[in-house]
Amino acid sequence: MNLPDANVLCEQLATLIRPQLRPDTALVGIHSGGVWVAERLHQLLDISEPLGSIDVSFYRDDYGSRGLHPHPQKSGIPFDVSERHIILVDDVLYTGRTTRAALNELFDYGRPACVDLAVLVDRGERQLPIGPTWCAWHLPERLPAGSKLDLKRDVAGNLSLEVKSA
Amino acid sequence: MLNPQLTKDGRLRHLLTLDGLPKAILTEILDIAAPFTEVAEREVKKLPLLRGKSVFNVFFENSTRTRTTFEIAAKRLSADVINLNVSTSSTSKGETLLDTVDNLCAMGADMFVMRHASSGAPYLLAQHLRNTGRDHISVVNAGDGRHAHPTQGLLDMYTIRHYKQDFTRLTVAIVGDVLHSRVARSEIAALTTLGVPEVRVIAPKTLLPTDVERMGVRVFHNMEEGLKGVDVVMMLRLQNERMSGALLPSSGEYFKFYGLTEEKLALAAKDAIVLHPGPMNRGVEIDSAVADGDHAVILPQVTFGIAVRMAVMSMLAAGN
């Protein structure tokens, strides 16, 4: 499968979001790929509010069976989320479970006025009633079970998509 | 031999001692603890990791700080916490430890946090759980006799890493009543495993175990000599309640030779940090000017202790 240029997808995603920005909009990226995309969007959309980040390791629903991630990152939201327009940002939307966990974590910081979801890629195969507000690319076909679609970032900061087989 | 603290696939099953715990697990606990420190800054200071689990704090020996921080840690992880002060309860009516435990298992315990005056009591409990097919219940040793106090050792390691980053360039001195101290044993085990090149113990002969050198430490009886150039000073409490016989002339005499004063601390590295597991005996092992001074990291230790206990409990819940 030919995968599009993730850097271009970021620009397309910014174009989709721009008309719906509000004065109180703030971005929150989901570790780790979502934070990279959020950093890019933050720059492209020229948002003054600092960027927030969430690591959903402590909110996952499969931690009892898969264990804890050995290197969880600190979540950090350097602004009051209450009564604010929050855009959650992730690299790949798949089952929806990560988004569910991120929403739960976000609400432990306060009660946002509304939350939107921006993703670079929608992989489909949802297991929860969750959909993106904005998506730069829909995967045209299902990937084999067990394979992973990941966002990578090189030392120069360039983003790329990668499929890993099971 | 299989480490009774680990599952077959190397995950943490119980936390009984830091002695023999692999470096990878020690580091993993410290890494996982780091993001837990941030939870205290949120509007909702809770994470769902232990939701639906029952944690029994079973303290056969008095404790305020340790029991409270375990309780806070478990509650921040959304567990149901049941505190039992067993020293004033069934055992005084004649019930054995394992009978008490069996009753608590029947009440649906998922995890025991246990303190006991007898060294090895948490091992006995872990062994009993395995022998009775209740291996899914975890045990955390919150201090057993003179043997170990692993979460105190871990929170000390977290504190040191927080301020000093790299263990492999440090000289660390442990000062005081090593003989009666389970904290000292856990600290020495962890410091050695994490690669600290020089661990010193500073104490009078009467307050050192006879085989202390075998633990891989340098022994000093003179505090001024022992503190020279150290990066970390770990003070121990003078354990009056564990003293049997006349090991010391008086607490005043002890302070003169082994109390940490600003003058003695000046011999350590300029940026040395001072730790104390609490409760402090001011004017006995530590002078107030040091305890409240710029080098002391004693209160951050308490805060980090919650995060470290959260890490241990969530790893145990995930491992089982």
What is residue B88's predicted lDDT score, i.e. its pLDDT? 62
* H-helix segments, A1-146: 6-17, 33-44, 63-66, 97-107
Give the neighbor-by-neighbor strand order of the sheet with B54-59: B80-85, B54-59, B111-116, B138-144
Mind listing the pLDDT tens digit for each residue in A86-114? 999 999 999 999 999 999 999 999 999 99
Strand partners, B58: B84, B114
Strand partners, A161: A151
CB of A104 within 8 Å of a chain B CB? The answer is yes
Using alpha carbons, list the distances in angstroms from residue B306 to A57, B23, B30, B56, B261: 18, 21, 12, 16, 29
With CA atoms as reference, the chain A residue closest to B52 would be A64
Of chain A, the percentage scoring pLDDT greater than 90 comes to 84
Mean pLDDT of B305-310: 97
User: Is B278 known as a binding-site position?
Assistant: yes
Contact A58 B48 (CB under 8 A): yes
Find tokens 């011999």 and name the residue: B267
B-chain residues within 8 Å CB-CB of A66? 318
Both tokens of B257, joined, read 């030779």
User: Is B182 known as a binding-site position?
Assistant: yes
The domains located in chain A, with CATH, are 6-164 (3.40.50.2020)
With CA atoms as reference, the chain B residue closest to A82 would be B43
- Residues counted in chain B: 320
Question: What gap in Å lies between CA B87 and CA B116, rounded to an integer?
Answer: 9
Find tokens 């020089």 and name the residue: B198
Predicted confidence band at B90 (pLDDT cuts at 50, 70, 90)? low
Question: What gap in Å lies between CA A27 and CA A88, rounded to an integer?
Answer: 6
Question: What gap in Å lies between CA B231 and CA B233, rounded to an integer?
Answer: 7
CB of A58 within 8 Å of a chain B CB? The answer is yes
B178 in Cβ contact with B207 (< 8 Å): yes
Of chain B, the percentage scoring pLDDT greater than 70 comes to 94
Question: What gap in Å lies between CA B96 and CA B74, rounded to an integer?
Answer: 26
The domains located in chain B, with CATH, are 23-149+303-319 (3.40.50.1370), 150-300 (3.40.50.1370)
Classified as helix, coil or strand, A31 is coil
B-chain residues within 8 Å CB-CB of A110? 43
Mind listing the pLDDT tens digit for each residue in B126-136? 999 999 999 89
Q: What is the ipTM of this complex?
A: 0.77
Contact A108 B11 (CB under 8 A): no
What is residue B49's predicted lDDT score, i.e. its pLDDT? 93
E strands present in chain B: 54-59, 80-85, 111-116, 138-144, 171-175, 198-202, 218-220, 232-235, 273-275
